[in-house]
Amino acid sequence: MQPPRLAAENERMQKMNGYPEVRLRRMRRTAAIRDMFAMPTPGPEKFIWPVFVAPGSGRREAIASMPDQFRYSADELVKALAPVVAQGVKSVLLFGVPDAQGEGKDECGTSAADPHGVVQRAIPVLRAAYPDLVIFTDVCLCAYTSHGHCGPRDPDGDVDNDAACEMLARVAVSHARAGADGVAPSAMMDGQVAAIRHALDEEGFTKTLLVSYSTKFASQMYGPFRDAEGSAPGHGDRQGYQASARDPRTALRESVLDEAEGADALMVKPALFYLDMIREVSQRTLLPVMAYNVSGEYSMIHAAAAAGYCDLYATARESLDAIFRAGATQVISYWAPFYSRIYHMG
């Protein structure tokens, strides 16, 4: 039999299952208390800036659909990176923009593997200016094909999966040879990770990271990006090879297979509409899980803030917190250059 005092205490504790004894506002009464119990603020080293690099010099072209984002020639990108690196952001993801609409493009996207291509020439320029910068490159063909799809087409007009893998491997090797720390295939071709890993290793690039766009959905959120890079398909769409938002099981299999093929990190793209998928992938792997906070997500917040519906940087922080909370270990985001404004607003 319990002593009377212990019995009374147990009875009291059993009753403390809600208000007025339980007052959760105690946990958020002051900013200092809120910060004490909040999840850690992601450091700038967790951010990767996706940036568009164009040929030539002295080019800094505003992208109308993506406020505060630009197409840079390599020399201008060196300048633009200075304040970004000063904030502690350590990584970029390069996207090449061909010379002009139609120029340098063909049915197979062969110019994407040109050793004198825009990405291949930009890498050593950035490396010389920022030796410690982690340089990833997007490996895809859509900006370099005459039809805007992510690989050569077969006689029926569909993307030829195996021919695309062969071409993607050539592109990845050309980026590694130029000095990229990591390559990131985004074409969503079956077997692309294995093909690229094999080609890299065969050429001696065993240290090159392979970050797979492993669960990449066919999404309406890519519009501003396609405007920036001139990579919209000339006909049809990419639903035949990008993952379906209504088929999460197959989307998850994409990441499982890419891990088995040798990916060093996985990725979910887009991020905000697919937080559940970030969580699912992160629970099924020990690999890093990156999330791509894509152009449409970025531009939507800008549009809402411009209309007076929200505060720009406070909303950006809320969206990024959601992505990390879902399980992302790194975030590829156009917000990266504004890290200090977003996370140190006072």
Give one word for 327, left, alpha or beta, with left for phi > 0 and alpha for psi -120 to 50.
Answer: left
Residue of higher predicted confidence among 68 and 346: 68
What pLDDT shows up at residue 156?
Answer: 82
pLDDT over 50 at 279, yes or no: yes
Average pLDDT, the chain: 92
What pLDDT shows up at residue 346?
Answer: 38
Whether residue 99 contacts residue 144, with contact meaning beta carbons closer than 8 Å, is answered with: no
Which DSSP letter does residue 153 get? B
Q: Which two tokens stand for residue 163?
A: 């021919």
Whether residue 113 contacts residue 167, with contact meaning beta carbons closer than 8 Å, is answered with: yes
In the chain the first and final C-alpha atoms are separated, in Å, by 56
Report cis status (omega within 30 of 0) of the bond before 224.
no
Q: What is the pLDDT of residues 118-162, one digit of tens each?
A: 999 999 999 999 999 999 999 999 888 877 777 788 888 788 999
Identify the structural domains of the chain with CATH numbers, from first to last: 41-343 (3.20.20.70)
Distance from C-alpha of 288 to C-alpha of 306, rounded to nearest angstrom: 35
pLDDT over 90 at 341, yes or no: yes
Q: What is the pLDDT of residues 64-118, one digit of tens each?
A: 999 999 999 999 999 999 999 999 999 999 999 987 555 578 887 888 999 999 9
Residue of higher predicted confidence among 80 and 7: 80
What pLDDT shows up at residue 164?
Answer: 92
Distance from C-alpha of 44 to C-alpha of 90, rounded to nearest angstrom: 7
What pLDDT shows up at residue 148?
Answer: 75
Q: What is the pLDDT of residues 30-56, one digit of tens each?
A: 999 999 999 999 999 999 999 999 999
Distance from C-alpha of 284 to C-alpha of 281, rounded to nearest angstrom: 5
What pLDDT shows up at residue 105?
Answer: 85
The sign of the CA dihedral 147, 300, 275, 53 is: positive
Residue of higher predicted confidence among 16 and 278: 278
What pLDDT shows up at residue 241?
Answer: 78
* Average pLDDT of the segment spanning 294-310: 98
pTM equals 0.92
Q: Which two tokens stand for residue 329?
A: 């270990």
Instruction: Write out the H or E segment, with its range, that includes residue 123.
Output: helix 118-129
Instruction: Write out the H or E segment, with its range, that includes residue 118.
Output: helix 118-129
What pLDDT shows up at residue 166?
Answer: 96
What pLDDT shows up at residue 15?
Answer: 64
The catalytic residue positions are 216, 269
pLDDT over 70 at 59, yes or no: yes
The model's confidence at residue 16, banded by pLDDT at 50, 70 and 90, is low
Q: What is the pLDDT of residues 197-239, one digit of tens each?
A: 999 999 999 999 999 999 999 999 999 988 888 766 656 566 7
* Average pLDDT of the segment spanning 302-320: 98
Instruction: Write out the H or E segment, with its range, that includes residue 171.
Output: helix 161-178
Which DSSP letter does residue 39 get? P
How crowded is residue 297: how many other Cβ atoms within 10 Å of its Cβ? 22
* Average pLDDT of the segment spanning 301-321: 98
- 3-class secondary structure, 47: strand
What pLDDT shows up at residue 198?
Answer: 98
Q: Which residues of 120-134 are buried (b: 16+ CB within 10 A; e: fewer)?
A: bbbbebbbebbeebb
Secondary structure (DSSP) of 253-321:
HHHHHHHHHT-SBEEEESSGGGHHHHHHHHHS-SS-EEEEE-HHHHHHHHHHHHTTSS-HHHHHHHHHH
CA triplet 79, 85, 87: central angle to 5 degrees? 125
